[in-house]
Amino acid sequence: MAIVLGPNRYGKAETRLVRVARDGDTHTLTDLNVSVALAGDLTATHLTGDNSAVLPTDTMKNTVYAFARDGVGEPEAFGLRLARHFVQTLGHIDTATVTIESYGWQRLGPHSFQRSGDLTRTATVTVNPAGTQVVSGLSDLVLLNSTASEFHGFVKDRYTTLSETSDRILATAVNARWRHTGADTDWAGSFDGVRDALVSAFVNTYSHSLQQTLLSMGSVVLHRCSEVAEVRLALPNKHHYLVDLAPFGLDNPGEVFMAGDRPYGLIEGTVTRDDAPAATADWYM
């Protein structure tokens, strides 16, 4: 039996970067979590410990900070700068993937800020021999409809206890990733457009299932945002259970609920254009 080295990569994970742009008395804050992964001809270091082709991961961290000195801009643009740098300067590296989480801060004054906890913006840039791929995203965008949602007509077997309902709370924490058709766009405008499309579709879809809502959300994004090739969504169903107040001599006309934590339903799916350009690298939620 032959044993061979399979696909591999290495890098520096979760380099925390905070940059303050000082424009006179008014400052701008950028808060990122940057991960770099490189792949290429790295066989020697695995087989013999020969590190002559290994760029230290500490150097990758330093590169992130050095590049930030010239400005960061949008996460996608910063990721493109870094990924292209590693591929262009390291002859034995053919693939660089830069993944960025961007944390929002709300301005309170010229130099005062409050951390925004509504969502986390993400970007993953991959540069490889097949081309350049940019995937933007967001996580933990919590949305809730207090009505306009039903769930009935589902499969029932001997273990089914869930009752059908024609009126329920529908809530989720949206985790979305979308692949761009190219590597040159208005990243900030595109992110705002996709986020607004996701929210609009959730608000305006009368839902018979969270699956139906997922397709509606992805479809609205593709209709509104021509720069997006496909959308991947993971929607946890944040269950809300009507509390039985009868033991206290009280009715509950759909007003008092217990918010469930776990377990939860998880609905996942991809919505794509039939003429979308093929992906040049694997990408996941």
Of residues 45, 57, 59, 272, which has the active-site annotation?
57
Q: Which two tokens stand for residue 154?
A: 């589902």
Could you confirm whether 57 is annotated as catalytic? Answer: yes
What is the Cα–Cα distance from 219 to 201, expressed in whole angstroms? 9
Of the candidates 94, 10, 109, the one whose C-alpha atom is nearest the C-alpha of residue 57 is 10
Of the candidates 204, 183, 197, the one whose C-alpha atom is nearest the C-alpha of residue 136 is 183
Q: Which two tokens stand for residue 99?
A: 């993944």
Asked if 215 and 231 count as a contact pair (C-beta separation under 8 A), the reply is no
Of residues 12, 61, 180, 238, which has the active-site annotation?
12
Number of C-beta neighbours around residue 171 at 10 A: 22
218 Rama sector, left if φ>0, alpha if ψ -120 to 50, beta otherwise: alpha
What is the Cα–Cα distance from 271 to 284, expressed in whole angstroms? 14
Could you confirm whether 180 is annotated as catalytic? Answer: no
Per DSSP, the three-state class of 219 is: helix
Amino acid at 163: S
Of residues 61, 180, 238, 239, which has the active-site annotation?
239
Per DSSP, the three-state class of 162 is: coil
226 Rama sector, left if φ>0, alpha if ψ -120 to 50, beta otherwise: alpha
Per DSSP, the three-state class of 216 is: helix
Amino acid at 63: T
Q: Cis peptide leading into 263, omega within 30 of 0?
A: yes
Q: Please give the biggest Cα pair distance in the chain.
A: 77
Could you confirm whether 59 is annotated as catalytic? Answer: no
Please list the active-site residues: 12, 57, 239
